[in-house]
Amino acid sequence: MRLNKTLILLASVILSATSSYTYGTSYQTCVIGDNIKTLRIRYAGSNMPERPIINLNGEDILEISFDELSHTNHQYSYTLLHLNADWTESGLMSTEYVDGFTTADITDYEYSLNTQQLYTHYRFELPNEDMHIKASGNYAVKIYEDGDIDNVVAYACFSVSEQTTDIKVNLRHNTDIELSGRYQQLDIDVSTEGLRLTNPREEIHVYVYQNGRQDNMVSKLVPTYIESNRLRYMNQRQLIFEGGNEYRHFDINSVYILGYGVNKVEFDREYYHAFLFEDETDPTLPYTTAPDANGQYVINAERTDYDDTEGEYMWVHFFMPKSSPWFDGSVYILGDICQNRLDATSRMEYDNEHKAYYKSLYLKQGAYDYEYVFVPKWATKGSLLRTEGSYWQTSNEYTVYVYYRSFGSRGDRLTGVYKVQ
């Protein structure tokens, strides 16, 4: 059964309520409403995890979905915003980036069936018949309740690329600071053919993300060489990243059988609880290869083909033994499991009695990647050196975004995206 409801962007973790974003603020996919869970942005018709990037005038459609933890009727709406390269609102008028409407109600929803946790699953697609995107760049979907644009419950962010810029990336382990050690370095070539440039340093902006992380994102790069139709970013220390380690993962697709990484499952007559094995950390161990999804997750429940509405929710308990806490910073759970946000949602607490960092997250059945990251006090960038170790051999996903803003224009075009791993 499907009802009239507005979409709310959803994260896999509960965030405390805050006021809506204001102009000048950098947008990021997140959940603000207390009762919203499992925010997903994926290609329509696919259950595989992917970074939310579609081609301008292409055939790909994004599906945005989330769960509201009740069977109570809610009315959600959403507004589409065009953003700059730095994820702040651009100066474009709505008629410059979309044909049709920029606001719509979410009318597609279904109640959960045969689940201990009651929830309503909401979904919508972009672009759609009433909302055709006609400008490249970054976008945010602002989801709000009861027609009140200030009553925001979630944001969902994605990118639209023209794919007209040729990008070449060389990933190497012989970096400018050490040889085959803890780091990885990128060299990037960007073609400027077809672009009218008067000042390449000001008109071309390159952004680099490692595994979708926001904290160690690289921007404000200055080309090492400027050629007639190419910009080269070579031997730049900004493009040196910790190699880190392969992600940890666990599987909670069953409430009866212990999945990978799960020590035990209990039911307390109200909630299911999945207790993971203790995660020992020793950054001095040699590198060991292991398959992972670079921090992403998949929703998957046993004994059903309808994961969206028949998947159960479970409290998942994380434990990282440590004889004493680190007093010079905090430990966070990193990955799409927490939308790669370093905040109260993902920050772990230290238990003096059990000598361990711990965290509990309320998650839908599926398979999840995660890792532990240390963030020093007063810092915004995390490090894996203490928690997971760092190795040049680690398989990471790097995504390079190239934006173009011609002189006098009011928005950043995304002319190319390139992934390497």
**pLDDT tens string 42-94:** 999 888 888 999 999 999 999 999 999 999 989 999 999 999 999 999 989 99
Q: Is the pLDDT of residue 23 over 50?
A: no
Cβ atoms 185, 239 nearer than 8 A: yes
Dihedral angle computed from the Cα positions of residues 44, 48, 52 and 56, in that order, rounded to the nearest 10 degrees: -50
Q: What confidence tens digit (pLDDT) does each residue in 131-145 have?
A: 999 999 999 999 999
What confidence score (pLDDT) does residue 13 get?
Answer: 32
Task: Tell how far CA 63 is from the center of its chain.
Answer: 15
Is residue 17 scored above 70 in pLDDT?
no
Across the strands, what pairs with 78? 104, 143
* Residue 21 pLDDT level (bands cut at 50, 70, 90): very low
In whole angstroms, what is the distance from residue 190 CA to residue 126 CA? 29
Residue 24: what pLDDT? 58
Instruction: State how far the Cα of 40 lies from the Cα of 23, in Å rounded to an integer.
Output: 25
Please compute the mean of the pLDDT values over residues 20-41 and round it to a whole number.
Answer: 81
Where b means 16+ CB within 10 Å and e means fewer, 212-226 reads bbbbbbbeebebeee
Print the SS3 string covering 88-145. Answer: CECCCCHHHHEEECCEEECCEEEECCCCCCCCEEEEEEECECCEEECCCEEEEEEEEE
What is the residue type of 68? E
pTM of the predicted model, to two decimals?
A: 0.91
Task: Answer whether residue 4 shows pLDDT above 80.
Answer: no
